[in-house]
A and B are shown apart, each in its own frame.
Chain A
């Protein structure tokens, strides 16, 4: 398969890069500043794209059109907002993602963000490191156990978050496109109703046209000044300027954010706030999970080029 051209859009994983390099003719898009020349020279031999979630590293219409020999897009993510799925379908290009292997890590991080935000873990660590403990006790924070958790999107990740939150004796409610008949959790038919009825709102749904800015001013108002938002979905799920002003003005109690609308840019107004925890899109960024995701990408590519069934096809 060493003649098969595979285009990696971003240095998302050195392990993946290494594994692709061993098997295929690997092109690293980030090494080519002059993209038009690159496509002129190499497009004909590229049959696969390995895409990622960073801005400009997906598989959009423009990229797909520049690769006439493209047969498959394997995304190093479970979310597919970075891939033009409809266009792939139209052109008969297969698409795979990396579901399941990252579910636990993302759910773990959601709980980690909830705890870090409510119990002000990062702030208290700063308090100790700066020597303030010698001058007095840290302030009181907010208990997690028993709080009402509302989950937006009850897919694999949402379900894993719910399972963990239940062990903290939290009552769980959710909103999704349709009610899940087998679910023991309380369903709310709108996001506003969910926000009005919970204390911690967690975003865990896919990003689509319908869910862009699903967290808007109205939802933030419904969540209220004692409410917390945790986002482990996509930055675009939240109307970021609205969130920022709500936090700055004290109309929300706090937020735990793994994603931002203009990653890696983060609104600097947030840096002055102690009730916000910000992490750099690390939901699935553990050694264990990154390796498992990479194996899945490679596995899907090998299956495709050996004309075997894809492991995790989406299109």
Chain B
């Protein structure tokens, strides 16, 4: 398969890069600042694209690769892949579900605890020598708080399971009610936000869910409410969130994603009641290796004319 051209869009994983390089003719898109020239010279041999949450496969890229057969995304979210265009052109698409579910759910709980219990703020407090001057302030208990989850898919369900161990009552919103679920369903995000103490975004990013967290939802969540985002930055109307936090209309937020990563609104840097992470939901050695194996496995299956491991299109 060494003649097969595979285009990697972003340096998402050195392990993956290595494994692709061993098996295919690997092109690293980030090494070619002059994209038009690069594509002109090499598009003839590129049959696969490996993208991720930073740089996927949009219409423009797809159209510039006439021999493209498969897009293998190093992510479970597919908001950066033009699925409609792929379908139209008969291009297969795979993602990396399941292998990252636990890590993302773990991080959601980690963000809740870090935000409510002020863990990062506490660590700063100790490191700056302030403890010698006085005790830290009181924070907010997590156990028993009402947790509302937007999106009860694999990740939402894993978050719910963990939150239940903290005796949290769980409620959710999703496109349709899940009949087998023991959790309380709310037919709108505003109702979910009104009812819960901690609102977690865990749904895919689509046109319907863009800015699903808007001013109305933030008001419904209220000044004692917390927002946790482990979905995508565009799920949240970011300027609205920032002003709510700065003005004290929300108690706090734990954010792993932002509208224009890696740019983070600097007003947030002054706040102690936010925890800001650089999109690390699946960022463990174990999980990134598993994701890489799945990407490679899907490509090998495709080019060996075997069934794809985790097809979406």
Which residues of A approach B to under 8 Å, CB–CB?
104-105, 107-109, 111-113, 115-116, 119, 121-122, 124-129, 133-134, 137-138, 140-146, 163-164, 166-169, 263-266, 271, 277-282, 285-290
Q: Which residue of B lies closest to A279 (CB)?
A: B122
A-B contact pairs, 15 of them (CB 8 A): A104-B143, A108-B117, A115-B114, A116-B119, A121-B120, A122-B114, A122-B120, A125-B120, A133-B264, A137-B278, A143-B285, A164-B166, A264-B132, A265-B132, A287-B140
User: Could you mark each residue 124-160 of chain B with 1 if its beta carbon is under 8 Å from any beta carbon of chain A, else 0?
Assistant: 1111000110011011111110000000000000000
- A124 and B161 in contact (CB under 8 A), knowing A278-B126, A279-B123, A280-B122? no
Is B29 in the interface zone, CB < 8 Å from A?
no
- Please, which residues of chain A bring their CB within 8 A of the CB of B132? 264-265
B contact residues, range: 35 or more
Q: Which residue of B lies closest to A103 (CB)?
A: B143
Complex partner residue of B140 from A113, A119, A271, A286, CB under 8 angstroms: A286
Count A/B pairs, Cβ under 8 Å.
164
Q: Which residue of A lies closest to B122 (CB)?
A: A279
Q: Are A266 and B131 in contact (CB under 8 A)?
A: yes
- Please, which residues of chain A bring their CB within 8 A of the CB of B284? 119, 140-143
- Please, which residues of chain A bring their CB within 8 A of the CB of B120? 116, 121-122, 125-126
Nearest CB in chain A: distance from B272 CB, A? 11
- Please, which residues of chain B bring their CB within 8 A of the CB of A163? 165
CA A142 – CA B164 in complex, angstroms?
A: 23
- Please, which residues of chain B bring their CB within 8 A of the CB of A265? 132
Complex partner residue of B280 from A124, A164, A288, CB under 8 angstroms: A124
Q: Are A282 and B113 in contact (CB under 8 A)?
A: no
Which residues of B approach A to under 8 Å, CB–CB?
102-103, 105-107, 109-111, 113-114, 117-120, 122-127, 131-132, 135-136, 138-144, 161-162, 164-167, 261-264, 269, 275-278, 280, 283-288
CA A278 – CA B122 in complex, angstroms?
A: 7
Q: Are A143 and B106 in contact (CB under 8 A)?
A: yes
A-B pairs, 10 with minimum CB distance:
A112-B113, A115-B110, A167-B165, A145-B102, A104-B143, A279-B122, A133-B262, A264-B131, A286-B141, A143-B284
Complex partner residue of A167 from B126, B164, B278, CB under 8 angstroms: B164
Q: Are A104 and B140 in contact (CB under 8 A)?
A: no
- A115 and B109 in contact (CB under 8 A), knowing A133-B278, A167-B165, A282-B117? yes
Q: Are A125 and B106 in contact (CB under 8 A)?
A: no
- A277 and B141 in contact (CB under 8 A), knowing A134-B263, A143-B102, A264-B131? no
Q: Are A280 and B136 in contact (CB under 8 A)?
A: yes
Q: Are B141 and A282 in contact (CB under 8 A)?
A: no
Q: Which residue of A lies closest to B125 (CB)?
A: A280
CA A107 – CA B119 in complex, angstroms?
A: 14
Q: Are B143 and A143 in contact (CB under 8 A)?
A: no
Complex partner residue of A125 from B107, B139, B263, B275, CB under 8 angstroms: B275
Q: Are B106 and A115 in contact (CB under 8 A)?
A: yes
Q: Which residue of B lies closest to A114 (CB)?
A: B110
Nearest CB in chain A: distance from B186 CB, A? 23
Q: Are A111 and B103 in contact (CB under 8 A)?
A: no
Q: Which residue of A lies closest to B276 (CB)?
A: A128
Residue of A104, A105, A140, A265 ringed by the most chain B CB atoms within 10 A: A140
Q: Are B264 and A285 in contact (CB under 8 A)?
A: no
- A168 and B119 in contact (CB under 8 A), knowing A121-B111, A128-B276, A140-B283? no
Q: Are A116 and B278 in contact (CB under 8 A)?
A: no
Q: Are B138 and A290 in contact (CB under 8 A)?
A: yes
- Please, which residues of chain A bring their CB within 8 A of the CB of B110? 112, 115-116, 119, 121
Q: Which residue of B lies closest to A135 (CB)?
A: B262
- Please, which residues of chain A bring their CB within 8 A of the CB of B122? 278-280, 282
Nearest CB in chain A: distance from B245 CB, A? 14
Q: Are B278 and A128 in contact (CB under 8 A)?
A: yes
- Please, which residues of chain A bring their CB within 8 A of the CB of B135? 280-281, 285
Q: Are B144 and A167 in contact (CB under 8 A)?
A: no
Q: Which residue of B lies closest to A134 (CB)?
A: B262
Residue of B110, B167, B286, B287 ringed by the most chain A CB atoms within 10 A: B110
CA A105 – CA B138 in complex, angstroms?
A: 12
- A287 and B109 in contact (CB under 8 A), knowing A167-B165, A277-B119? no
Q: Are A285 and B136 in contact (CB under 8 A)?
A: yes
Q: Which residue of A lies closest to B285 (CB)?
A: A140
Complex partner residue of B141 from A104, A119, A126, CB under 8 angstroms: A104
Complex partner residue of A113 from B119, B280, B283, CB under 8 angstroms: B119
Q: Which residue of B lies closest to A142 (CB)?
A: B284
User: Apart from A109-B113, A143-B103, A280-B135, what 15 extra A-B contacts exist at CB < 8 Å?
Assistant: A104-B166, A111-B109, A115-B106, A119-B280, A122-B119, A129-B269, A137-B278, A138-B278, A143-B102, A168-B162, A279-B123, A285-B136, A285-B139, A286-B117, A287-B139
- Please, which residues of chain B bring their CB within 8 A of the CB of A111? 109, 113
CA A140 – CA B291 in complex, angstroms?
A: 13
Nearest CB in chain B: distance from A119 CB, A? 6
Nearest CB in chain B: distance from A254 CB, A? 13
- Please, which residues of chain B bring their CB within 8 A of the CB of A167? 161-162, 164-165
CA A221 – CA B190 in complex, angstroms?
A: 52
Q: Which residue of B lies closest to A257 (CB)?
A: B126
- Please, which residues of chain A bring their CB within 8 A of the CB of B103? 143, 145
Q: Which residue of A lies closest to B287 (CB)?
A: A143
CA A263 – CA B106 in complex, angstroms?
A: 30
Q: Are B123 and A122 in contact (CB under 8 A)?
A: yes
Nearest CB in chain A: distance from B275 CB, A? 5
Nearest CB in chain A: distance from B238 CB, A? 14
- Please, which residues of chain B bring their CB within 8 A of the CB of A288? 140-141
Q: Are A278 and B123 in contact (CB under 8 A)?
A: yes
